[in-house]
Structure 1
Amino acid sequence: MKKPKILIFGDKRREKVFETIQSFERFVKGKAKVLANCYQGDCLNNLLQEADYAFVFGGDGTILSAARDLSENNVPVIGINVGKLGFLAEFSLNQVKKHFKRLTTDKSLIEKRMVLKCTITRNKKEKIVSTAINEVVITAGPKFNMIDLKMMVQGQSLADCIGDGIIISTPTGSTAYNLSAGGPILSARLSAIVITPLCPHTLSFRPIVIDAEKKIAIYPQRLNEGTTIILDGEILCSLQIDDVITIEKHNGSFLVVNNPFQTQWDTLAGKLNWAQKPKYRISERAKK
């Protein structure tokens, strides 16, 4: 049987990650060909193109960091949670060891998730073109006055977002910053985009879900000196008043190997206590 070619992503400077990777490397010896540990951009393009799977050790932040290059090369991700919450890092090391053969052969476990493409145009030239797995965020920044963002969807005026900023989220990112800001939870398999305002200056501006095939254009009307655009919590760029930000569905996909023993909803219930029944306190008198 052909051995899968795999990449390892993980920050070995973190003690628990280092120990977990060591244990995995001992286990996988003879079962797969390890091409490289590609943490922090150490992977060459030819390795990314050659790999069958990427095993990412850490939390969701580590996966998001690796996912941009992996999605460009259609490498499925198997996330091993060595972090805290871990929505994307669905597996424990023991689960991976126990079901390694199935995880690296059963193509039905691979789920395609949409990715956003963000372009910042300045003086009619593209300043930044990048992808986002979770979300694109524009945040007011210092001096922390309200900002004004004119939003268009497919050339049609949507709204002026006046407040602390805006979150443009994928279904994968709907359980991240979007959820904390009051946005809806979307099934990860949907092809849709969530627009969630940050502390809007009007109670009537609520989150909205749009078709992922529609292109969003944002024209800043009023900014602060420190107004910034952030992609997946990592890529930063200060905005200027004449910038044009366009956000659309990327042609590539983020491929995730799902845990066959739990659903997205199991993860929500287990890690966020989502939709749990209230725990009623019984008085001492009622007990008698």
Structure 2
Amino acid sequence: MKLLRFGEPGRERPGIIDSQQQIRDLSSIVGDISGQTLTPEGLAKIQACDINTLPVVSNTHRIGPCVSGVGKFICIGLNYVDHCEETGAEVPAEPVVFMKATSAITGPNDGVIMPRGSEKLDWEVEMGIVIGRETRYVDEADALDYIAGYCVVHDVSERSFQLERGGQWDKGKGCDSFGPIGPYLVTADALSDPLNLDIWLSVNGKLYQNSNTRNMVFGPAKLVSYLSQFMSLQPGDIISTGTPPGVGLGQKPPVYLKVGDKIRLGIKGLGEQEQSVLSSV
């Protein structure tokens, strides 16, 4: 299934994409696409309905973040070998973990706001893992059973905040609008192999990132198992799995986003996003 949310910010409704690529309104079946809906029981409730009887939604509606009420937005750094090389970092022996503020979450086509004082605004296309079951101390062999689905994440980053302001990556990762997710969540049963998906990003029509999720250092099962050793994971939590090479910081010389720039990004099977860079208010 492809689940999404549509409508104005704060007033989104749940939806599902049918076989004709139309959006159907799920409001009569579930209240929202949130943690409770993403449990095995919640997904089974959607699967049991005849979606062809649900109202068709106009394609003029804004698409919102594909998950509501995210409790934790966990990110993995340096998770592609060639991205480590372009940034001059060693390939990590264990996953590099940091948090992104949930207030950064926006819809997939909402604007990216350049924060005040920004000098080095950068892009990072990533695959997101969405948790579907409460998860504690899970073995890697069982970890995939705890995943509800996958989505596109844009881990927007401000490198001067991240790297030049006294430590803590979170400062360059959590600004408002720095976490577009969606357009939809693809449930795990509808994705044959999350470790064989083309992943890409372009700026103003120029392709900068072009890779495949098979190049990850640590795959979804390892990440879910690893994180569950340090914190419990709840349905609706998102793990952003790291970015491939081609970020602005890695260009020679570095290239950073400016107000007015157009960003397009996507992952095969998980959809595409498109954003414009806006000035701060």
More strand by share: 1
| Bigger radius of gyration among the two | 1
Structure with larger RCO (C-alpha < 8 A, sep 6+)? 2
Same fold (TM over 0.5): no
TM-score, length-scaled by structure 2: 0.28
TM-score, length-scaled by structure 1: 0.28
